[in-house]
Structure 1
Amino acid sequence: MELWIPITIAAAFLQNIRSAMQKHLKGVMGTTGATFVRFGFGFPFALLFVAILHFGFGMSLPAFNGSFFFWAVIGAFAQIAGTQLLVHLFSFRNFTVGTAYSRTEPAQAALFGLLFLGETVSIGSLFAIAVSVIGVMLISVAHGTVSWKSLITSVFSRTALIGLASGVGFGIAAVAYRAASLSLGGPNFMMQAAVTLAFVIVLQTVVMLIWMLLRDRAEIGRIVAAWKPALVVGLAGATASFGWFMAMTLQQAAYVKVLAQVEIIFTFLSTVFIFREKVTRLEIVGTLLIVGGVILLVLLT
């Protein structure tokens, strides 16, 4: 078994824990605060990972370059946007559905490439895109009257558009992080991933902290009051991100994203046993179609 496979599965499990805790925090603070804790409480652990690898295992620090800064900054801001949209989405739909929307980013990337860059898309890829979009549409109408009209209009609903936008942010971030990590050129995939994560998460923390100081200082007080669960989010989030960065340094981001769909299993378990939320048959079918469409996209492209 290739090393990136167990790393990705472990990262998916940890990301599910982080997302579950973020949903809990969304009930005691705003979207900005619930987004910030992922970064603000995660950067000490990211710096710790670098320190352990450098001082504990004797791994040398890589040399920074312009390409690294370019891709790292793009990824940092794209991830902030994707995370804020996903956390905001939790206010509209249940935990499983909110997470499912963010899993359409590979399909969206292919569609945007066709529309804006003139890139060629195969018939198989178009079919995969259609499968994912139908899944999103089914989820959107799962709690209402199911008809052809409702299915067609559902993809333009507020929740669908927010979820799709969240997927765009995460898709851009994944590609950018892989490019940033690879641009370091060594000493090995673990240190490259750790340094990339540390730089990105510190940048995200500073940017969001400045934003809250200027626009919403009351949110900082709410974050401080919920520091215990926020610390769990930071630890789980930083560790999961370290896993993603390592996996995407070893393997193409698209393949890592496909395997990462195993998180849906953890999500369903969280929905049923932690949040005690009901999942309808249409939501299950819709989520499976989204996952199936993403997998087909990678296999057929």
Structure 2
Amino acid sequence: MITSPIWLPATLVAGAVQAWRTAVQRRVSHSLSINAAGLVRYLYGIPFALLLLGGYRLVFPTALPAIGPLFLPFCLAGGLAQIIATNLLIMAFKHRNFVVGTAYSKTEAVQGAVLSFLLLGERLHPLAWAGIGCGVMGVMLLSTGGKRMGPGDFLRALTQPAAITGIASGFFFALTAIGIRRATQSVGGDDRILAALLVLVATVLMQTLLQGAWLMGREPGEMRRVLANWRVSGQVGLLSALGSACWFTGFATAPVALVRIVGQIEVAFTMAFGHFYLKERMRGSEVAGLMLVVGGVALALMGSL
């Protein structure tokens, strides 16, 4: 059920910011381990998440809402799923290029639709399901990297490390969305943006403690490199906080599957960043895949009207 029209602009901004953040984080991943590169977005995102919450409270001063008993457990579940998803996505980057790695993870749209139906009872209009199918076809076309493949070749491609880690990343991102939506539903009151920001702060703090403790115990040298690399890492933290604030607002105000379907527009921004920022070559098949993704978003929006 859609509770506010804010979900649509929030989702579109989230897609753009996340593509930018992922592009910067990919550069960070070249000099850090997988766990260290993942920690960057949480550790350096804390001050910006607190600023977003504080700034919102200054502009809209109201009493803090009641917090339900499931708030922290769902924040923890969503945060842990996001840590796993992010690490898997960084692993996918190490196997293939930026655009293809992100394309595999975008299967989260269909995975999220199925999981949100099973776990949250959310239902979609047939046009939205058509949009999912169109979007999945688009990301699968992107995943071929411009190669002509028969059915057998395509099935073999899905068993490659980049495909496995990317699809697994999409699964855990879908679980993240469900956990965050349930956490926002545990916050009382009608202000869903405030609920999203409260969930953001709590989640980022727990993620930093979890992955920071892991890194200190397993890779103490990497922690020093995370702290020394603060200039670029600070950019990742800022973009992560902004992107997550928008995603969480979307999850708080609209069905998870609908937000994730429209969020596939991130692929368009990803291709732009991959081409202009990372200097990666754009193929004709990627343009065709992009058109399918955009068509899927359009169908999903028609189904939500």
Identify the TM-score tier after normalising by the shorter chain: 0.7 to 0.9
Identity %: 32
Aligned match for 1:210, one of 201, 205, 213: 213
Runs of 5+ consecutive residues of structure 2 not aligned to the other structure: none
Aligned match for 2:10, one of 7, 26, 32: 7
Q: In the superposition, relative to structure 1, how do residues 298 and 156 fare at CA in structure 2: closer, same or farther (>3 Å)?
A: farther
Aligned match for 2:62, one of 59, 62, 67: 59
Q: Is residue 18–residue 239 contact of structure 2 (8 Å, CA) maintained in 1?
A: yes
Distance, in Å, in 1 between the alignment partners of 2:259 and 2:154 is 30
Give the deviation of 1:107 after TM superposition: 1.4
Alignment correspondent of 1:152:
155
Q: Is residue 140–residue 159 contact of structure 1 (8 Å, CA) maintained in 2?
A: no
Alignment correspondent of 2:20:
17
Query: Quick check: 1:261 aligned with 2:275?
Result: no
Q: In the superposition, relative to structure 1, how do residues 216 and 299 fare at CA in structure 2: closer, same or farther (>3 Å)?
A: farther
Alignment correspondent of 2:173:
170
Give the deviation of 1:123 after TM superposition: 9.8
* Local SS of the residue matching 1:90: helix
Where does 1:99-110 land on structure 2 (aligned, <5 Å)? 99-109=102-112
Q: In the superposition, relative to structure 1, how do residues 11 and 144 fare at CA in structure 2: closer, same or farther (>3 Å)?
A: closer
* Local SS of the residue matching 1:91: helix
Give the deviation of 1:101 after TM superposition: 1.4
Query: Quick check: 1:237 aligned with 2:236?
Result: no
Q: In the superposition, relative to structure 1, how do residues 234 and 112 fare at CA in structure 2: closer, same or farther (>3 Å)?
A: closer
Query: Quick check: 1:220 aligned with 2:229?
Result: no
Q: Is residue 109–residue 168 contact of structure 1 (8 Å, CA) maintained in 2?
A: yes
Give the deviation of 1:198 after TM superposition: 0.4
Q: Deviations over 1:72-114 (max 9, x none)?
A: 1111111111111111211122221111111111312456799
Q: CA RMSD in A?
A: 3.1
State how many pairs are aligned: 299
For 1:97, give the aligned amino acid.
V
TM-score, normalising length: structure 1: 0.86
For 2:92, give the aligned amino acid.
L
Give the deviation of 1:151 after TM superposition: 1.5
Q: Is residue 28–residue 233 contact of structure 2 (8 Å, CA) maintained in 1?
A: yes
Q: Is residue 71–residue 179 contact of structure 1 (8 Å, CA) maintained in 2?
A: yes
Q: Is residue 97–residue 287 contact of structure 1 (8 Å, CA) maintained in 2?
A: no
Runs of 5+ consecutive residues of structure 1 not aligned to the other structure: none
